[in-house]
Amino acid sequence: MQLRTITVGAREEDLGRAARAAQQARKRLEAAGYTIQTLRLTLAATGFNECADFAHVARGVEQQALDAGFDYITLGPVAGERLAALPDAIAATQTVFAAAHITRNDGSPDPAAISAVAQAIAKIGAHTELGFGNLRFAALAHVAPGSPFFPAAYYDGGAPWLAVGPEASALAVAATADVGLSGASGIPSPSVQKQALARLTVLIEEHDARIGVALNGIEAETGVRFTGCDWSLAPHPDPQRSVAAAAEALSGVPFGAWGTLAAVRGLTEAIRAARVTQLGFSGVMLPVLEDATLARRNTEGRYTLRDLLAFSAVCGTGLDTIPLPGATTPEQIAGVLSEVTALASALRKPLTARLLPIPGLQAGAMTAFAFEYFVNTRVMRIA
C-alpha cells in the first residue's frame, strides 16, 4: 500500500518546522516500507496579506512551499473577495489548491456561498486548459479541519499537526480478492461479505499500528503533532487500487447496479469498525476520474450523477472529480451544490463537491486528460 500524502497544517511562520516534520515523517515511513507519493502543506488563507493581489499572494506562497520541499499547498477555505479572485489565482499557479465552505457554522446551507462557489467553478473551468483547474478546488459542506486529503484539507490556526492519507483502496481490493460466490446469481453470501469486510478492518488496524510506530516521537523531535491517518478508501488509476472494483467484488454486480449502495455502506462500516483514530472523512471515496472501474462503468452509462449523490449518503467525500459539459451554467452548478449541502446538513456528515466543467465538450463525449492520476471517461449529464 502506498501513502498518497503526508500533510502538515501550520502557520506561515512555522513553515520551516512544518517542512522538517514532513521530511522526517517521510524518512521514517519509508524506513517502515511505505512509498510516499507527496508531501503537502495547508496554511490558513486568513493569515495572508488581505490587501495584496490574490494571484500574486498565491504565487508567492506556492514558491515558498516548493522551496521548503512540499509538492502541493492548499490555501484552505476562501470567501468573499478572495473567492471571487480565486479563478485568477488557480490559473496563475500549478500546485496551489483551495476550497470554500457552502454551509454555515451550524451546518445549514449557505445560499450566497453556494452561488459564489458555482460562479468560481464555472470561471475556473472556462479559463484553465480542459477545465483542469477545478481539480484544485472543492466546495465543502459540513467539513471540519484536519483531513490530509486535498482539496478538503485545511488548517484551523491552532498547533501545527501532521496527518497521513493512505491509498487505502488497495487494502479493500486485497480484502475482497478471494470473495467466494454463492448461489446462481453470482452474489457473495452475507457470511462471505462479512468475512471480507472483517479482513479490511484488520488490515486497516495493522497498517495504522505500523504507521503509528514509525511516527512515534515525531512531536518531541519536531514540535509537530501526529494526529493520525484518514483511512478513507482513496483509489488510484491502477485497477489493482480501484475502490469500485472492491465494491463490485463485494456486491457481485457492476458498479451502479442494485446492490452498489449496500456494498459502499459495508466498506464504510468496515473502516468505522477499525480501532483507530477516525480522522477526516473515514469513508469511501468515489472520484470518477481517478478510479479505473468507476471511469469504465461511467463510460458504459451504468450510473448517473444522482446515483453518486445517493451513494455519498453512506460513503465519504461526496461528488468528486466529476466531468461535466463545458456549457454547464453557474445556476446548474448551484443546483448540484444545493443538493450536496442538503444531504450534508440532513445527515450531519462531511461532503465535498469537486466539479469539472470541460470547455467544448458535451455530455457523452470522452475526456482527453493527460494526467497520471486521471482515467479518461465520458462527460456526465448534469440534467
Residue 160, CA distances (Å) to 26, 46, 224 in order: 17, 16, 5
Mean per-residue pLDDT pooled into runs of 10, the chain (383 residues)? 96 94 98 98 71 88 96 96 96 97 95 98 97 98 96 93 97 89 67 95 98 97 97 95 96 96 97 97 97 98 97 94 98 98 96 98 98 97 88
Query: Which pLDDT value is given to residue 179?
Result: 82
Pairing of strands 318-325, 96-101: unpaired
Rounded to whole angstroms, the Cα distance separating 239 from 180 reads 20
Query: Which pLDDT value is given to residue 304?
Result: 97
Q: Which of 80, 15, 25 is nearest to 54 (CA)?
A: 80
Q: What is the 3-state secondary structure (H, E, C) of the chain?
A: CCEEEEEEECCHHHHHHHHHHHHHHHHHHHHCCCCEEEEEEECCHHHCCCCCCHHHHHHHHHHHHHHCCCCEEEEEECCHHHHHHHHHHHHCCCCEEEEEECECCCCCECHHHHHHHHHHHHHHHHHCHHHHHHHHEEEEECCCCCCCCCCCCCCCCCCCEEEEEECCHHHHHHHHCCCCCCCCCCCCCHHHHHHHHHHHHHHHHHHHHHHHHHCCCHHHHHCCEEEEECCCECCCCCHHHCHHHHHHHHHCCCCCCCCHHHHHHHHHHHHHHCCCCCCCCCCECCEHHHCHHHHHHHHCCCCCHHHHHHHCCCCCCEEEEEEEECCCCHHHHHHHHHHHHHHHHHHCCCEEEEEEEECCCCCCCECCCCCCCCCCCECCCCC
Query: Which pLDDT value is given to residue 45?
Result: 56
Query: Which pLDDT value is given to residue 183?
Result: 46
Q: What CATH code is carried by the domain that includes residue 90? A: 3.20.70.20
* pTM over cut 0.85: yes
Q: Which of 250, 220, 245 is nearest to 235 (CA)?
A: 245
Query: Which pLDDT value is given to residue 14?
Result: 92
* Total number of domains constituting the chain: 1
Q: Which of 197, 287, 204, 153 is nearest to 1 (CA)?
A: 204
Query: Which pLDDT value is given to residue 157?
Result: 86
Q: Residue 366 belongs to what domain range? A: 1-383
* 265, burial (CB in 10 Å: exposed 0-12, middle 13-18, buried 19+): middle
Looking up cell 457481485 gives: 252
Looking up cell 460466490 gives: 181
* 89, burial (CB in 10 Å: exposed 0-12, middle 13-18, buried 19+): buried
List CB contacts of 143: < 8 A, sequence separation 6 or more: 99, 101, 152, 350, 351, 352
